[in-house]
A and B are shown apart, each in its own frame.
Chain A
C-alpha cells in the first residue's frame, strides 16, 4: 500500500505538470497569437460583423484620412482618399480578393470586435448605429508621398522608419494598385507588398553585416591593409569588383567606401562560415516576423553543414543564396543608427473609439540587441564616408551628415542588377532611416540613393529630429 501511495503521488505530480502545460500553452497562444488569430482571414466573425458595423477610419500620424467609411445612396462604402499612394499599407476589403494591409491586420479594431459590453450598449442605444474604432498609423502621409513620387514608375520598394522608435513613416511598393477600383486590377502581382514580402539578394548592402561581424570578431581589423587587384580567386571561382576595377591598397573604411568585393570576400573567408552566419542570425536572418500589424517574410542566410569557400565569399558580399526583405534591411539600418538596438517596426500608433477618444496606445519596443554601441558607432562613421567620399555621393544633403551604403545586386540570368540603398540621417543623432530597392535598375548609388535622399530630405524639412 505504501508503494501505491508513493506512486500515486508521482502520477499526481505528472498530472500537475501536464495541466500546467495546458494552461501555459493556452496563455501563450492567446498572448502571442491572439491578435493575429482574431484578425485572421478565416475569421468569419469579421465578415459577419462588417455587415452590421461601420468600419472605423484609418488615419496617418497627423490625422490625415487614409481610409474612411462614407455614406453613398444610403449605404456605407469604403473610400481611400489617397488611393494608390497608400494602397499597400492601408490595404483593402474586397468580396473577391479578401482583405489586406491594415484593413486586414486591424480588422478587429476597425470593427470594434473587442469593444466592451458598455461601449456596445452605448452605441446601440444612444447612437443607434454600431461603429468600429479608428486606427491611427505611425505613417506620415507627406513622407509616404515623397517616397512614392521618388520611386516613380520603377518597380521596387521604399521603407522609412524612425530608428529610435521603430515607427514606420513610409512604406511604398511598386507596381501599385488603386484600392478604390479593384475591379480594374489587371495584374494581381501588384497587390503584393514587396516591402514586407519581397526577398531580394542584398548585394553590397549586406557588407554592413559582414562588417559588424569583422569588427566584433577580428581583433586587428582596423589596422589591416587589403590589396585589391580587381578580383580574387576563390577555389575555381573568380569573384571580381564592380567593373573589374582594381582598388589597390585600402583599409576597411575605404573598402566599404568603394564597396570593394575583393576585400569583403577575403574578410568573409577570414571570419569563416560559423562566425558570419552567427552574426547574420544575430541580425535576425532566417526569421519570419509575425507581428500584429505586419508579417515580414524571412530573410535568408544559408545554413549548410559544409560550405565551400566560393559560397562563403559570395555570402560575405550579399550574393549567393543570401536574400533579404526591404523591411528587414530598414530594421538593420535602424539598429546601426540606434546604437545597436533594433526596435520592432510598428505601423499602428494608437486606436481611438468612434468619438475620438484614444483607447489603446502602442509603445516602442526594443526587439533585439544586434551589436554593441562602439561597433555601431564605427559602422556609422564608415557609412558617413561612403556618402561623403564613396559610392553613395548622390545621397548627400548639404549641412547634414548622412550615413549610407549602396548595393548593386545581381538579379540572376541576363537581368539588370537590383539597385539598393540604405541610409540614415543625421548621422550623429538619427531621426530617419531609409531602405530603398529599385528592381533591375542598375547601380545602387545612381538609381536608389537619390530616392533615399529625397525621403530623408523631406523628413528633415518637415522637422523630424
Chain B
C-alpha cells in the first residue's frame, strides 16, 4: 500500500466525518434551545467511525477499506435523516449499527479460524428453512407481511439473516461442476425458501433471493438455459400470482397508475414521487422539508425523504455509492482464490445490489413497490446487522484461514498480514 492510497482513504473518512458533524450540528442549532442530544450524536457517531476505521486498517489490512467507508457514508446519511424524523429512532439505529459492525468484525476474526465452510450444505439448508418457518409459527404480522418474530422484546426478521445462509448453501453446491441431478437438492432448497417467503407475503425479499440465486447459478455454471428457465418459471409464477393474489395485483396496479387511486392504493407511491418532486436539485434543506408526510419515511421510503431534503444530486450520489460498493464486492470475487469464496463474494454483493435496486426502483416508480429496506440507511436492526454480516462474509473471502491445528494462542490478531498478500 502506498502512502498516497492511505492518504486518500483518510481524506474520504475526513469528508464523511465533516458531513456527519455538519448534519447533526445543523439539526442541533435548528431547535431552540440547542439540542444537546444532536451534538452528542455528532460526536459519538464520528468517534465510532474513526475507531472502527482504525480497527479495520490495523487488523484487517487485506480487506477493502473503501467498502467500510462507503458504509459509513451511507449510514451517516441514514442517521441524520432518521434523527431529523425522530431522534429516538436514530439513537436505536446507532445501536444497531454498533451491533452490526461488531458482527462484521467477529465474522472477519472467525474467518481466520474457519475452514471447510463449503461442506455443510444440508446444515445451512435445514437451519435456513427452520428460521424462515419461525414467523409462521410464532410470528407477528407487520405491514401486511408475516415475517417477524419477537425475541426478548425486539422484533427480528429471520429472512434478513437467512440471506447469509442462503448464499453459503448455494455456494457450497455450486463451487464444483455439477450434473443436473446433483443440482436438484439446491433447486429444491431454493424453491422451498421462496415458497415460504411468498406464504409469509414477503415478496420483496423473495425477489431478492430469486435474483441472487439466478446470478450465482449463472456465474458458476455459465449455463444460460438455467437462467432462462428460471426467468420463464418466475414469469409464469409471477403472472399466476398477479391473476390470483389480490395484493400482488394491487401492487402492480398501484405501480402502473398510482394516480388513479392516489389517496388509497397509490398513496405511498404518490407521496413518494411528490416528495422527490418537491425537493429540487439541492433539496429543501435539512429540516426544512416535510418528509414526515411520506408514509414509512424511516424505513422503506427513506430514499424519498432523503431526496426531498438533501436533493436529487445527493440521491444520485447515493445510487452511485451503492454501485461502487457492489463493484468493489465483485472485485473481491475476481481476486478470490477459489470458486467457493468467489461465489460468496458475488452472492453478498448481488444481494446488497439487488435489494438496493428493488427498493429505490420501487420508491421512484421504476418497478412495482415491494417493501424491503435500503441497506445501511433504512431504520431496522435486522436489516442493519444482516447487511453488515453480508459485507463480513464478502470481506472474509480475502482472509485465508490458517491450516487447522496450527492455531497458536499467543498469536495476536492481525499479525499475519505481513505475509503474502
* B175 closest partner in A (C-beta): A4
0/1 per residue, B229-262, Cβ < 8 Å to A?
A: 0000000000000000000000000000000001
Given contacts A4-B333, A4-B342, whether A26 and B219 have CB atoms under 8 Å apart is: no
Residues of chain B with a CB closer than 8 A to A33's CB:
273, 277
Return chain B residues, CB-CB under 8 Å to A1. Answer: 338-339, 342
Interface residues of B in 253-286 (CB under 8 A from A): 262-263, 270-271, 273-274, 276-278, 280-281, 284-285
List the B residue with the shortest CB-CB distance to A19.
Answer: B323
Q: Is A225 close to B, CB under 8 A?
A: no
A residues 1-38 with Cβ under 8 Å of B?
1, 3-5, 7-9, 11-12, 15-16, 18-19, 21-23, 25-27, 29-30, 33-38
- B357:A18 contact, CB within 8 angstroms: yes
Complex Cα–Cα for A4 and B220 (A): 6
Contact of B263 (CB < 8 Å), options: A12, A42, A43, A117: A42
Within the complex, the shortest CB–CB distance from B323 to chain A, in Å, comes to 4
Interface residues of B in 278-337 (CB under 8 A from A): 278, 280-281, 284-285, 288-290, 293, 307, 312, 315-316, 319-320, 322-323, 326-327, 330, 333-334
Q: Mark B343-364, 1 if CB is under 8 A from A, else 0.
A: 1001000100100010011001
Contact partners of A25 in chain B: CB under 8 A = 361, 364, 366
| Contact (Cβ within 8 A) A37 B330 | no
Whether A40 lies near B343 (C-beta < 8 A) is no
Determine whether B61 belongs to the interface, using a CB cutoff of 8 Å to chain A.
Answer: no
User: Considering the complex, which residues of chain A in the window 68-113 have a beta carbon less than 8 Å from any beta carbon of chain B?
Assistant: 108, 113
Which single residue of chain A is at the shortest CB-CB distance from B280? A114
Q: Tell me which residues across on chain A come within 8 A of B293, comparing CB atoms.
A: 44-45
Contact B285 A117, beta carbon cutoff 8 Å: yes
Q: Tell me the nearest residue of chain B to A108, going by C-beta.
A: B278
Indicate which residue in B320, B326, B360 contacts A12 across the interface (CB closer than 8 Å).
B326
Asked if B65 is at the interface of the complex by the 8 Å CB criterion, the answer is: no
B262, B276, B289, B327: the one contacting A34 at CB < 8 Å is B276
Distance A119 CA – B271 CA, assembled complex (angstroms): 26
Interface range on chain A (Cβ under 8 Å from partner): 35 or more
Contact check, B262 vs A38: say whether CB atoms are below 8 A apart.
Answer: no
CA distance A148 to B46 in the complex (A): 65
Q: Which A residues touch B307, using CB under 8 A?
A: 26
- Find out whether the CB atom of B290 lies under 8 angstroms from the CB atom of A36: no
- Total number of A-B contacts with CB less than 8 angstroms? 124
Tell whether, in the assembled complex, residue B218 and residue A11 are in contact, meaning their CB atoms are under 8 Å apart: yes
Which of A4, A113, A114 is packed against the most chain B CB atoms within 10 Å? A4
A113 to B288, alpha carbons, bound, how many Å? Answer: 10
Question: When the two chains form their complex, are residues A27 and B316 in contact, meaning their CB atoms are under 8 A apart?
Answer: yes
The chain B residue sitting closest to A16, CB to CB, is B323
The verdict on B416 contacting chain A, using a C-beta distance below 8 Å, is no
Contact B320 A23 (CB under 8 A): yes
Q: Are A37 and B215 in contact (CB under 8 A)?
A: no
Using a Cβ–Cβ cut-off of 8 Å, how many residues does chain B contribute to the interface with A? 48
**Is the pair A44, B323 in contact by a Cβ cutoff of 8 Å?**
no
How near does chain A come to B188, taking the closest CB pair, in angstroms? Answer: 24
Within the complex, the shortest CB–CB distance from A346 to chain B, in Å, comes to 20
A153 within 8 A of B: no
Residue of B nearest to A12 (CB): B330
A376-407 residues at the B interface, CB under 8 angstroms: none
Q: Kindly provide the distance from the CB of A52 to the nearest chain B CB, expressed in whole angstroms.
A: 12
If A11-B218, A22-B360, A27-B312 touch, does A38 touch B285 (CB 8 Å cutoff)?
no
In the bound complex, do residue A29 and residue B215 qualify as a contact, i.e. CB atoms below 8 Å apart?
no
Q: Is the CB of A4 within 8 A of B219?
A: yes
B222 contacts A by Cβ under 8 Å: yes
Q: Is the CB of B218 within 8 A of A48?
A: no
Contact of B342 among A5, A30, A38 (CB under 8 A): A5
Interface string of A268-303 (1 = CB under 8 A from B): 000000000000000000000000000000000000
Give the complex CA separation of A15 and B357 in angstroms.
9
Residue in contact with A35 in the complex, picked from B219, B277, B326, B360, CB distance below 8 Å:
B277
Answer yes or no: A180 CB below 8 A from chain B CBs. no
B365 interface residue (CB < 8 Å to A): yes
* A5-B334 in contact (CB<8A): yes
The docked-state distance in angstroms from the alpha carbon of A117 to that of B290 is 15
Determine the distance from Cα of A4 to Cα of B174 in the docked complex, in whole angstroms: 11
B30 to chain A, nearest CB (A): 11
- Known contacts A22-B319, A117-B285; A44/B277 CB under 8 A: no
Q: Confirm or deny: A266 has a beta carbon within 8 angstroms of a beta carbon on chain B.
A: no
From A8, A22, A30, A45, contact of B334 by CB (8 A): A8
Q: Is the CB of B353 within 8 A of A29?
A: no
Given A12-B330, A23-B316, are A29 and B278 neighbors across the interface (CB < 8 Å)?
no
Assess the A22–B277 pair: CB atoms within 8 A: no
Contacts of B285 in A (CB 8 A): 117
Contact of B288 among A8, A26, A44, A120 (CB under 8 A): A120
Q: Which 7 A-B pairs have the closest CB atoms?
A: A37-B277, A34-B277, A7-B219, A38-B277, A19-B323, A38-B278, A25-B366
Interface residues of A (CB under 8 A from B): 1, 3-5, 7-9, 11-12, 15-16, 18-19, 21-23, 25-27, 29-30, 33-38, 40, 42-45, 48, 108, 113-114, 117, 120
Task: List 18 contacting pairs A-B, 8 Å CB cutoff, sorted by A.
Answer: A8-B330, A8-B342, A12-B326, A12-B330, A15-B353, A18-B357, A19-B357, A22-B357, A30-B276, A30-B281, A33-B277, A34-B277, A37-B277, A38-B278, A40-B270, A43-B278, A44-B271, A117-B285
Further pairs besides A15-B327, A19-B323: 20, Cβ < 8 Å = A1-B338, A4-B333, A8-B330, A11-B215, A12-B330, A16-B327, A22-B366, A23-B316, A23-B319, A26-B364, A29-B276, A30-B312, A40-B270, A42-B263, A42-B271, A42-B274, A44-B290, A44-B293, A45-B274, A48-B290
Binding site for A on B (CB under 8 A): 215, 218-220, 222, 262-263, 270-271, 273-274, 276-278, 280-281, 284-285, 288-290, 293, 307, 312, 315-316, 319-320, 322-323, 326-327, 330, 333-334, 338-339, 342-343, 346, 350, 353, 357, 360-361, 364-366
